[in-house]
């Protein structure tokens, strides 16, 4: 089995779960910040929607410098609205899915390097970057986002099972088409 064929179903599951969480971001709460050092809800949601841009970039390059010595630093996109964030997520999800679907095992084995100011932070096979710095990164920040949403009294959907807002019985009824 090709590596991409093993990863694509996992990516699809995480995309569906992420979509369900991002769709709950209330426009009226996007300025919420749980701590002065934390991102706002809107900034975090846009970061979650944007993490996927790293997948195609990782597969078409062999390195990326966050702050190149001879050029401008990477600047993350600015939050505009919940609707724009969801559109960005859908666009980024489509591009990530297509890039992974087209990747061969040989391409996934190519070393990829992350730098800052010309200094190497790490070099890993592309597949490790896809798993760690895209998929795990997405899951990590999605988890943070669910905490923000909970603090804003937004009912949380199931992620890997029931939540306080969706019980096992409700999930079973939903799966059976009764709810």
For the chain, give the percent of residues with pLDDT over 70.
Answer: 93
Q: Is 79 exposed, middle or buried (0-12, 13-18, 19+ CB in 10 A)?
A: buried
Q: Which domains are delineated in the chain?
A: 3-175 (1.20.120.450)
- Mean pLDDT across 32-46: 97
Structure tokens at 159: 């992620």
pLDDT tens digit sequence for 155-166: 999 999 888 888
pLDDT tens digit sequence for 93-142: 999 999 999 999 999 999 999 999 999 999 999 999 999 999 999 999 99
Q: pLDDT band for position 173 (50/70/90)?
A: low
The CA–CA distances, whole Å, from 80 to 36, 77, 85 equal 21, 9, 7
For the chain, give the percent of residues with pLDDT over 90.
Answer: 82
Give the helix/strand (H/E) hosting 113. strand 111-116
Mean pLDDT of the chain: 93
């Amino acid at each position: 089995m090709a590596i991409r064929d093993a990863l694509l179903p996992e990516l699809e599951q995480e995309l569906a779960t992420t979509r369900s969480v991002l769709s709950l971001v209330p426009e009226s709460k996007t300025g919420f910040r749980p701590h002065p050092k934390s991102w706002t809800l809107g900034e975090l949601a846009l970061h979650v929607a944007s993490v996927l841009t790293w997948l195609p970039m990782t597969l078409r390059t062999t390195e990326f410098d966050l702050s190149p010595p001879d050029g401008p630093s990477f600047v993350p996109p600015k939050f505009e609205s919940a609707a724009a964030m969801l559109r960005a997520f859908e666009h980024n999800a489509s591009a990530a899915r297509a890039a992974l679907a087209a990747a061969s095992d040989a391409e996934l084995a190519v070393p990829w390097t992350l730098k800052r100011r010309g200094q190497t932070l790490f070099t890993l096979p592309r597949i490790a970057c896809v798993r760690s710095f895209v998929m795990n990164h997405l899951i990590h920040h999605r988890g943070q986002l669910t905490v923000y949403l909970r603090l804003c009294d937004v009912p949380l959907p199931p992620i890997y099972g029931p939540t306080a807002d969706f019980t096992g019985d409700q999930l079973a009824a939903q799966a059976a088409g009764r709810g």
